[in-house]
Amino acid sequence: MNEEAFAHWLGTGLGSALLNQEQACVATAMTRVFGTRHLEVGLDSALAVTPRLPAGQQPQVLPAVTSDTDRGPVIARPEELPFHDDWMDSVVLHHTLDLAEDPRQALREAVRVVRSGGQVIVIGFNPIGLWGLRRLFGLRREAPWNSRFMLARRVQDWAQVLGCCVAPARYGFFRPPFGGWRLQTRLAFLEPFYERGIQVPLGGFYCLVAEKRDAARIPMRPVLPEPTVASMPVANRNVSPGIGGARLRLVSSRSGDGGEHS
């Protein structure tokens, strides 16, 4: 994927309108996040969706060096985040799964670096609705239509397999995917579902919040010593071999004596 072309598209009128609503959605999700270490895996420092935080609390992972920031961004692949396990309080994936070479591994890395009880916030394009139709019937050689449009349900399944508790996805930007900033401003009346929090899976993007949980550990069975087998006595086992034969001859002789007397 061409992340640079995608970042350039976010600077257009349509892209800027989409970005503004994504920022509002992430800001709402961040109100339920606690801690001081927050990471955003994005495209450009100027296109961040995470609310502004003090320096040192908001590192960014970018695919390449872009604009200058107070603290230089970390240049890395989303499939290989250079952070320790259980280090971050929250991780925001801004269209990361739409552009990553291996989206499942990118999500796995985000879950790895976030602490238990922390949250992974995923922003991605919704393949259902007007935006999905535009991508289906249009040319996919240009950004953002050449990116990966994934179902929110699929990302939820991945996150649950990784041990996360996933909230229902929230959808936003119900305006059509064409026109500039002026037209998008006039079509803002099409956003009643987003403003009222109604879950209608027809928006241009989805916002998914997954909370990491500790995996339930199965207790190991204690290693017990092998039981000592005690031999139990069996009936007539304590009788000597000669006794049985002697009794048999005695009975036979008595039977013969009875016959002669008769």
More confident residue, 20 or 251: 20
Q: Which residues are CB-contacts of 135 (< 8 A; sequence separation ≥ 6)? A: 125, 127, 145, 149
Reported pTM: 0.75
Q: How far is CA 21 from CA 14, 38, 49, 207, 260, in A?
A: 11, 20, 9, 11, 121
Strands 88-94, 114-125: pairing is parallel
- Which pLDDT band, with edges at 50, 70 and 90, does 250 fall under? very low
Given a cut of 50, is residue 31 above it in pLDDT?
Answer: yes
Alpha-carbon distance 90 to 94, whole Å?
13
Model confidence pLDDT, tens digit, residues 230-242: 555 555 555 455 5
Alpha-carbon distance 156 to 93, whole Å?
14
Backbone angles phi, psi at 112, to 5 degrees: -65, -45
Alpha-carbon distance 80 to 22, whole Å?
25
Given a cut of 80, is residue 151 above it in pLDDT?
Answer: yes
Range among 66-80, 81-95, 139-153, 181-195 rated most confident: 81-95
